[in-house]
Structure 1
């Protein structure tokens, strides 16, 4: 008997959490920052089938605003996924985050 016949979902918990995590990312970014969702999520939004396991976005943000942005994300359970994430973001222009509950990675590229 297949998983569907037994009443089990073939969709992983991470896949189920993906729209929620994307919404939380947008709730933090939309009111204050110019930017856009890029990568696999953007391809899907354009109507193309694509598997993706992370959320990628660009945003216009000044270096002094990064610490406050990390704090706002942490209030949503989205936390840095590397040590010294703030210093890494300042030098590489990429903030590496992870949703604590679902383990979905979020990469924010600052411009």
Structure 2
């Protein structure tokens, strides 16, 4: 799947931060309000809110209002695009590792 370079950069920027990756991991278990997401971190609510904003702008999370709360959920489609992009490099390493395994088997 083709992903425009700007979109690719935005997604990779978003997942480059450990706190944002942890937010994605937490959301993989299910939708949560922002306040509850913040309880998983040793940073301020404002900091978590900023991380959520970056993830939302990159299209990695969705948010909806329920009363006065904002509920966040994972938007896995953009992660699929990243997986598609990295697949060609995964194939490269799989081939290299297979050749290394064959070489080592021959040496035994």
More strand by share: 1
Q: Larger Rg: 1 or 2?
A: 2
TM over 0.5: same fold? no
Normalised by the length of structure 1, the TM-score is 0.29
TM-score, length-scaled by structure 2: 0.30
Answer 1 or 2: which has greater helix percent.
Answer: 2
